[in-house]
Amino acid sequence: MSIGRSKSVAGASASHAPASGENGSTQPQTVTPLAGATRRRRNSGLLCELQSMCKRTLRAASQTIIFPFYSKTGTTPTRAQPKPDVVPALKPAPRRMRPPAAPGRKHQRNVDAVVPPAMATSPRAEIRFPLTTADAQRYLRAQWRQAETGGRFDQAAVDRLTTTLTARLLATSAATGNGVHEDSGEKACARAIMVCDALAQATGGDPARAHDALLALLDTTSHADARVRADVLALQTALGMTAIGLDTLLAIAPHVLPQRGSAAPEIQREALRHALRAADHLLRRKPADAPGPTSLEALAALADPVLPAVERGRPGSSAGASVAPPGKAPAWLADPGNALAIKALHAANALRADPAAQCPPHLAQAYLAWRNGFDREGPGTDLAKAQQRLFKLFAYAERAARTGMAARAAAGFFGTQKSPLSALQNFGTAGVMLGHPDDEFARFTAALAPVKTQLADRLKAASTSRALKTRCAVRLAAIEQWERRMASKGLRSTFRFSSRDLETVAARARPLLSNRVALHADGSPADLALDPHRNRDAIRAEVKPLRGMTPAQLRTWADEAWRLSGQAVPEPIRANIDLVESRLAGDIRPKPGDTNAQLDAIGALVKQMPDIYDIRVSSGGTVGLGGVPSQSLAALSSHLGVPHVSVLPDGGYLQGRHAVIDIGSNQHFGHLFIGTESRKSLYGGLGGYAGWSFGQDGMANVGVSGGLRRSRDWGGPRGVTIRTRRSDDEQPGRPDAWRTTMLEVLHATRSAGPNSDAPRNAREMWGSLARRFWNDPACSINWTDSRSTTSATSGSASATARVGTADTKWGPALGATLRHVARAAHRQWDKTGNHAIDVSTHNSGRATAVAATLVEALPGIPVPNGSGHLAALSFPTQPYVGIGTTLFTTQTNAALRIGRDSGRIIPKHTFRDTEFGTFKAFKQFVDTHRSEWLTALGGTDDARRRLDEMVATVKARATAGNLIMGERMHMTDEAARRLDFLFHRKQRFDRIPAPTPVQARERASIDADIRQMLASENSWRRQALYVLEALGVQRTVGLSFLLNAQSTQAVSGVRELAGLSPE
């Protein structure tokens, strides 16, 4: 989803042309061409208002073309035009006291999906924000006296531990005084609570051991007792499981990670975190009474015998690990499933010592997997699935290059031989890559302006002959007419002059040339061969060959205009013309027959995709059994000449599988998703038909039909997602870091084979990625899962009139279907990955599909011994050609996304969206929160003007049903920090396989705090108002009666039309 993009600024400069002086000679005077040439005519008057109102009422969303066994549905993108002339209302609408209720309920369901509600919570040790010293002290006492010790230890030891925790960790908070909610004090309180929990986890709730471990951690020297050093390692491991825990560890004990003048502190810091994660994984099965390792290096050496001999650490190796002592590893480590963690620990230890270290390939590959959250390797694991799915990209490219349309469609019926890149071949990007309409038009005018200026300069130049001046005048007028028509009708790749356009060009060119005969100083004519009407014929001769305008024609005229002055077209001007040509006609459509061309198309999408946009291409098939359509229920036997009615149950089950590729970016990183989407649908209902067959031998019939269905769909995409981090200091004109890194990922995968050729298997591809990105935190490899459910009710009605023979008849059919989606829920989460997202959306809406089709009623098959309605079996009416559209579309959407980078919640990538499908609902929502938005925009008169202009602009453009108008709220920094703290506390209980009732209630209390934080309005700040345009094309080929076997290809995405942001 895209919001808040920076608009480009471009405009056309004023043109100049020569004018006649008082003596009739040509003088270099400034002449402005027709004013407002780049502005479209103002939409005013009753007719324009009526047209706009009708469009907003009908809200047409898509268009469908129907042929036998074929249908294609698509949406037309809004053409590039100048920003509409809008006049904000002098008085804003009054504040609505009742905001729309549906978004609030949907937002609560999103919170329920992310953190399910619990029935029972524990009031003990309850956390309330903002944290104070008194709150932290109360928690520490309750935690050790009630939860951890349970009365099993000496109370004096508990008091000594809590006193030390208060003195050593709450000093910052105590210095501000209890009850003073300063940020530094809350941080100290949170750190004390996290250290308290980690001590309890590391020592089994023993306050004496916890006290010794705490002092040993805070002390910069190593403790003499091995048991204490082992407890210190366990304490570090408990804290290092999350990013905020690691921050706490390094804040209270910075000597844990000494900085060695490293130029890559993030790599070294992440190495420590992942080393502690690996240690936690390896120590999880260690018996409580068994002696534990005293350092990460000792743990790596202790676990090394678990690895195969060829993968073990060796003295002097780049991993920096030593050979394990003779003998076997402890029984609690002797698990083949620990191999990935052990190898990752070796690599992490090397990076902690030197961020520039180079590891052997098997350790680098293990560390790449481990730092992205994969904890096991081997067949059937998420790591193996991610590797195979990423390698599937080459299979998709091969299929798209080699497989013909017919073979691909036949195989697609059953979900085999799928290739999303074939959809890109057929449909291109479907307009998804277009920017704001006014931004796109600004690029167009920026390309025209210097050419117009150069032509005007040639008109003024005394050295230019009259014939060339006439040509320049006509071309200048033609460019202005092209610009004016594009501003009125919308920008398109080609434009053809009409006869009226040519007349306008001639009329515009005449004032740019002098009609008077030039005179000598004594008043005699300079050229007796010229007459006062000489320009008319010359202009007519130049106008006659004009046919149309394209960017290529503009480039030719620019070359000739600069050649007149003895110069070449400046490179920036030529680049602007090339950019307009590529935006208008340079859609990305890889040619079949070349595998590399398919992969190049993905790279082109990465390079050209507008910021914060994404595009999805898919290909697959659907199979299943369906009920009898309502219009095909009656037998319509030829001997029935009376009205008849048929009613039958209607039901069916369908399932489909599609291959999906999604490419794009958001405000924090770019992404490339490669996966499959499984979808299942079950529906049931009733259908009825009423008709009359009349005429000789039943040569004509008319009928009406209707049906009612209740359906439920479920499924969702899953696959591998490559995420690359955006830069915080992106420079204009330079590609963002996410594009550069993503292109490097694509290059690494494509050149992983022998001689830098394509990889032969997933192992080669993974090895190539590991060589380049094994320790780079800017690149994340995620295994993404999702699930979606949709509950809908649809009602249909149609009417037919057909004539023909007794066996078959032809005629028109008109139909309409109203579909009401009561609830559509989508849940998506990254199970692994350094850059991860957690998304929940809930939608509802309705739409009416109407269609007009020319159909043929196929002949029925007589039933032996049948009579009445059972005299023959009826087959569906076969469409020959038809058109359809979707009207009266409305929807209400709510989305919650939590974004993380290296284990931290990123506030600007964690957002809550509220969206509407109609301007009326959007306007009501904005009016309700008008005061909050004025405050967010600055509270000045300029803020009021900007908000009113945004609303007026949305009203002017909200004439289609595929528009989404909404508000985005970003999470505040304070809320993100508090959620990190709560999720850190929660992960401790999530890892307990069989929690006690006390632990279960404690976790429920933490969940309640998280839910409250996500639902609170104070956790969010208003970030943007936006208008999106949902675009896409879908083609379906195959059977859809009784037996469903269809092949589908689709391209879809969203494009931003307008936006308003405080930033």
Residues 345-386 have pLDDT tens digits of 999 999 998 888 899 999 999 999 999 999 999 999 999 999
Q: Band of the pLDDT at 583, cuts 50, 70, 90?
A: confident
Cα 917 to chain center, whole Å? Answer: 19
CA dihedral (688, 692, 698, 701) positive or negative: negative
* Residue 942: burial class (beta carbons within 10 Å; 0-12, 13-18, 19+): exposed
Check pLDDT > 50 for residue 644: yes
In whole angstroms, give the CA distance from residue 697 to residue 637. 10
In whole angstroms, give the CA distance from residue 354 to residue 348. 10
Check pLDDT > 90 for residue 43: no
Residue 271 neighbours by CB distance under 10 Å: 27
Type of residue at 643:
P
Q: Band of the pLDDT at 62, cuts 50, 70, 90?
A: confident
- Range with lowest mean pLDDT among 345-349, 478-482, 515-519, 555-559: 515-519
Residue 90 neighbours by CB distance under 10 Å: 6
In whole angstroms, give the CA distance from residue 995 to residue 1008. 18
For the chain, give the mean pLDDT: 82
CB 925 within 8 A of CB 26: no
CB 26 within 8 A of CB 514: yes
> What's this model's pTM, rounded to 2 decimal places?
0.86
| Rg (the chain; Cα; Å) | 36
Question: Tokens 């909200």 identify what position?
Answer: 958
Range 129-135 average pLDDT: 82
Question: What pLDDT shows up at residue 489?
Answer: 82
Range 1043-1057 average pLDDT: 89
CB 746 within 8 A of CB 599: yes
Question: What pLDDT shows up at residue 383?
Answer: 95
Domain limits of the chain? 19-39+434-585, 123-257, 595-1060
CB 241 within 8 A of CB 280: yes
Question: Tokens 């949406």 identify what position?
Answer: 75
In whole angstroms, give the CA distance from residue 3 to residue 1027. 8
Q: Band of the pLDDT at 582, cuts 50, 70, 90?
A: confident
Q: Band of the pLDDT at 174, cuts 50, 70, 90?
A: very low
Largest CA distance in the chain: 124
CB 456 within 8 A of CB 17: yes
Question: What pLDDT shows up at residue 529?
Answer: 47
Q: Burial code of 357-382, b = ≥16 C-beta within 10 A, e = fewer?
A: bebbebbbbbbbbbbbbbbbbeeebb
Query: Which of 757, 766, 626, 638 has the alpha carbon at shortest distance from 694?
Result: 638
Tokens of 389: 């799915």
Range 927-933 average pLDDT: 91
Q: What angle do CA 10, 13, 16 make, to 5 degrees?
A: 165
Question: What pLDDT shows up at residue 732?
Answer: 58
Question: What pLDDT shows up at residue 3?
Answer: 42
Tokens of 27: 């003088």
Q: What are the C-alpha distances in Å from 1011 to residues 107, 842, 1028? A: 11, 17, 29
